[in-house]
Structure 1
Amino acid sequence: MILAEWLQIRLVLWLALIAVRPLGLHMAAVFERRLTLPLLGPLERGFYRLAGVAPEKEQGWLNAALFGAVALATLGACALGVTPARAENVTNQCAARYQVDKAANQLGGQSYFQYYSKCSAEVKARNAAATAPVAEVPVAPAAAAPVEAPAPAPAPVAAPAPIAPAIPAAQEPAKPAKAPKPAVAPADSGSVVFPKAVATAYANRKAGDARKKTCADQYKANKATGGNGGLKWSEKGGGYYSECDKKLKGE
């Protein structure tokens, strides 16, 4: 049971205990045919009239049973109404949401009572907003679009005057375009340039990978200066990379 249900039970018990003495005094006064309290006397006589009871006559069991059933049904309808159904609906919704948020670890350290207090307020506010009547906004009729006057007919276009053909001038033969000169590749100097040590940019890499990156950078730089000595990056019998790797290893 949740906290709200425990509070309701305790409230009913406290109200019953508080009402024991005044109700007992009133029943004793009724049984002894003494004057009742000023406010309860008219109320008592009104109930007698509704139930068809004559205080001066003995009441049969059938009238007592009918009056008790009607009174209990009336009080139950007034006290309960639709509140339990709505409370049960709110409780079920919040319990389901609590389990979902608990599984997703989104409770934020809240206990169930703290979570239920916040959740029930949100659900009740949403239900109240959903049942509130929506005011209808009168829609003004759309104004009719103005009718545009027809555009005047375009003026007739005069036919263009005939143009006499121009006499072609003597055309000179076109000169052939000059072919671009091929770029001259840098000649190999014959001496091969190798890096002296592994570049600091690759100090955090593995040793083999750092040596390979350093050799690749030097190989690309040698292409512009002819410092590769005619060696390819990788070739049969050893290439630039193989020799550069040995140099950096110190072999």
Structure 2
Amino acid sequence: MATSLRLSLAAACAVALALSTGAAQARETSKSCHAKFTAARTAGTLGTQTYKQFKAAQCDTGTAATTPEAARASAPAASKAAAPEAATSAVMPTAIAEKYSKEAAGTARMHTCLDQYNANKATNANAGLRWIQKGGGYYSLCNARLKG
């Protein structure tokens, strides 16, 4: 009985040591990855890439890149980037309406898009888009198009 307890305790110590060594290596990897990210940002080669996206693309190797967490972190970024570029048959304004030209840029875009969205309702020209919806609704697409 005492021997099995000692073996269990030894196994638990070995597992704890292995986990702590892995955590130390992960911290070092994270530090070196952040240094690479900072260097890329300074050089201006990042574009619109966030640290999480950079880390997933440049630093994660082996099991870290295949975890469900890593997949979830990179998937929304890809879908958000693709959403404004989505082709739609909805009628969109091409420029900010003159009556909103004195408003702040974001407010002017919103009001212009809202006016067009409401006008489209009468002719069923919104292509099935709701004003705001998950994955990019009419407002998201219109705002991105007006930004430009």
Do both share a fold (TM > 0.5)? no
| Structure holding more helix per residue | 2
Please give the TM-score of this superposition, normalised by the length of structure 1. 0.24
TM-score by length of 2: 0.40
Higher RCO (C-alpha 8 Å, min separation 6): 2
